[in-house]
A and B are shown apart, each in its own frame.
Chain A
Amino acid sequence: MDDRITKVSIIISKGSLEGVYPGLIMANGARAEGIDANLFFTFFGLDAIHKSRFEHIKVATVGNPGLHFATWAGGFPGVSGMMTHYMERKMERLDIPPIPEFVEMIADTGAGIYACKASTDLFELTLEDLVPQVKDIITVGEFYDLAAGGQIIFT
């Protein structure tokens, strides 16, 4: 039992639906197993904790071979929205919460939610622009301090 994972720090760097969910599910799942967890949002991943954007995270329908339809078709107006709506309905049936509820739920599990300073500087964001569950905007050095003694997962 000595090699059990006891702490994870998960980085979410992408702003698409399929880019955000895996990190959220892993953080929530870690807490459910009694594992300490921190979530660190960087670059476009910040959209998942951005007050005016986190309800509008979309599936990438262009340049996403996993969807198995032509890239030119994915570029038509509304296709991304339709695909997102379809996925959200399927996820609701599987008891996977929408992103805003999921972020709140993960904060309630006791996981720490942080934003990357380099990215908030780049996008000119402050704590005010982010959801209240965000504990702080931190530097990469501070992130490593927080992550000390655990595993780091980049998504």
Chain B
Amino acid sequence: MTAATIAGHEVLVNDEGFFTDPTQWTEDMAPELARSAGIEELTERHWVVLRFMRDEYFAKGTGPTVRLLGKSSGVPIKELYELFPGGPAKTAAKIAGIPKPRGCI
């Protein structure tokens, strides 16, 4: 675990850059987190996914799998991969300030 400064806030992240305490995350950190994940600009569609990731995390204690994202977030799988080319669940979790989902599917 290391301290990182994101959008002027000091937060704790793990070796891979995932937040260890999701309550430290605020919306103004998302654009900077997105740029470090290779996404230049967050659109409203990205935000649909990011909000769903956080809602799922706080409801269930873990981020959703890509399958669940495709079924329930309102963004189909094809579009998810266009929005987050580095892998939707993983990249969106990083930008949304939640731990990496550990599902195999």
Q: Which residues of A contact B (CB under 8 A)?
A: 25, 28-29, 31-34, 94-97, 105, 108-110
Q: Please, which residues of chain B bring their CB within 8 A of the CB of A97?
A: 67, 105
Q: Please, which residues of chain B bring their CB within 8 A of the CB of A95?
A: 65, 67-68, 103, 105
Please give me the residue from chain A that is nearest to B86 by CB atom. A34
| CB contact under 8 A between A108 and B67, given known A28-B105, A96-B105 | no
Please give me the residue from chain A that is nearest to B65 by CB atom. A95
Q: Are A33 and B87 in contact (CB under 8 A)?
A: yes
> Is the interface on chain B under 10, 10 to 19, 20 to 34, or 35 or more residues?
10 to 19
Q: Verify if B85 is at the interface (C-beta below 8 Å from A).
A: yes
**Residues of B37-89 whose CB lies within 8 A of A:** 65-68, 70, 76-78, 81, 85-89
Q: Are A32 and B68 in contact (CB under 8 A)?
A: no
Cα A94 to Cα B105 with chains together (Å) = 9
Most interface-central of A28, A31, A34 (chain B CB within 10 A): A34
Q: Please, which residues of chain A bring their CB within 8 A of the CB of B91?
A: 34
Cα A94 to Cα B91 with chains together (Å) = 22
Cα A108 to Cα B85 with chains together (Å) = 12
The residue that B67 contacts in the complex, of A33, A34, A105, with Cβ under 8 A, is: A105
Q: List 8 A-B contacts (CB under 8 A).
A: A28-B66, A29-B105, A32-B88, A33-B87, A95-B65, A95-B105, A108-B81, A110-B78
